[in-house]
A = this chain, B = another copy of it.
Amino acid sequence: MKIGVLGGDGYCGWATALYLSAKGHDVAVVDNFVRRQWDHELGVQTLTPIRPLAERLRVWHELSGRAVELFVGDVTDYDFLSSFVTGFEPESVIHFAEQRSAPYSMIDRKHAVSTQVNNVVGTLNLLFALRELQPDCHLVKLGTMGEYGTPNIDIEEGYIRIEHNGRMDVLPFPKQPGSFYHLSKVHDSHNMMFACKIWGLRATDLNQGVVYGTVTDEVAFDEALINRFDYDEVFGTVLNRFCVQAAIGHPLTVYGQGGQTRGFLDIRDTVRCVELACMNPASRGECRVFNQFTEQFSVLQVAQLVQAAGRKLGLPVEIDHLSDPRVESEDHYYNAKHSKLIDLGLKPHYLSDSLLDSLMNIAIRYRERIDTSLFAPQVNWRNSSNERRPQIRVPETPLFAGRDT
């Protein structure tokens, strides 16, 4: 199948592109490298030293014999996006090309506006490009479980049957997103449902949980293919960050009580879920929603699992409770359905000690690259503007100290 991976240089996108290429699909990656630019803006680096995309793709081609085509550009630029759709003629497009960090969107007004404009306009452009140029192409869009918030009822997959005053309808599940980023995904979801209805497009909205892990079979082929591993407070996902903290004896930074419960999944399941969605496309006119996670944990449970795994490795792991920088419930009901991808054949990689070991060992391997100043939350939801300047790490003793110059 001809599959376009928008945002294919990012964390989930890169793993997905290689996985699909290895599976024999004809893959094209679209990226504008803004994710790498955000690292520079924030003064952060992925734990793992990722290579430039052109080099990654060259090495992949050499090792696997499989070429992945590259289109460099911005999906908010319609001329570029339509030239990609016309040039590649994808049968499926997987849309990862969005700003995906909640804290980034909460830094200040400019970051909130740029997140929403970037994400909403990119998705609108994609909907129009498919309608105009490739109407049978299946759009596989990354949403987030965070679109639902934490309602006091079971969370269904996208739609809920509501009985009300003696009548019944199946309606979009009410959304209570918790950041300007999560809101952008809700906006996208509404735009997609509408476009499928009026134009007969086919779409799958993958409401993904919190992803952890970094190693997929393909990126393990060679050091040059290594994936991102973000552990900073802005782009790092919680389990990855805890493993890095555990590896160097830093207390795990739990926000508040840690009762915040979320759906989680291994990145090896991310890539498989995306493939399952592609291989089982939505019907024309259908906007289907899958909840893409495999287990739910509270943040404190995640911390305790990391603590236990760390102690087995002889690491002294403490848990710190920081004041929660987010506005969210720290103790709530949470029961989100997630059977549709299982029904399509997903065999989950449940969170295991061996995975935690592997993550901590990666962290130990790259410990020289860890900047502990990136752990503490600097973006507070209650502020409308957060001072978040890059931290410059300096050695305690300047290299040239005491020299006559």
Contacts and interface: CB of A to CB of B under 8 A. Distances in A.
A190 interface: yes
Interface of A: 78, 109, 112-113, 116-117, 120-121, 124-125, 128, 131-132, 151-154, 160, 162-165, 167-169, 171-180, 183, 186-187, 190-191, 193-194, 197-199, 327, 333, 381-382, 384-385
B174 A153 contact: no
B174 A152 contact: no
A60 to B, nearest CB: 34
A175 B116 CA distance: 19
Contacts of A174: 160, 162, 171-174
CB-CB nearest 8 A-B residue pairs:
A171-B174, A152-B169, A153-B164, A109-B128, A198-B327, A187-B187, A131-B384, A153-B167
A258 to B, nearest CB: 20
Q: So how many copies of this chain end up in the complex?
A: 2
Contact of A152 (B152, B167, B186): B167
Given A167-B152, A190-B183, A124 B113 contact: yes
Best-surrounded residue of A124, A151, A198 (most CB of chain B within 10 A)? A198
A191 B116 CA distance: 10
A379 B175 CA distance: 31
Contacts of A131: 384
Given A121-B117, A168-B152, A78 B175 contact: no
A293 B183 CA distance: 28
Nearest to A106: B198
A384 B167 CA distance: 35
Nearest to A171: B174
Contacts of A175: 172, 190
Nearest to A131: B384
A69 B400 CA distance: 63
9 contacts: A112-B124, A116-B124, A120-B120, A151-B171, A153-B163, A153-B169, A154-B167, A172-B176, A177-B194
Contacts of A183: 187, 190-191, 194
Contacts of A191: 116, 180, 183
A154 B160 contact: no
A238 to B, nearest CB: 20
A154 B168 CA distance: 9
Contacts of A186: 187, 190
Contacts of A190: 175, 177, 183, 186-187
Contacts of A78: 109
Contacts of A121: 113, 116-117
Contacts of A177: 190, 194
Contact of A164 (B160, B169, B384): B160
A90 to B, nearest CB: 18
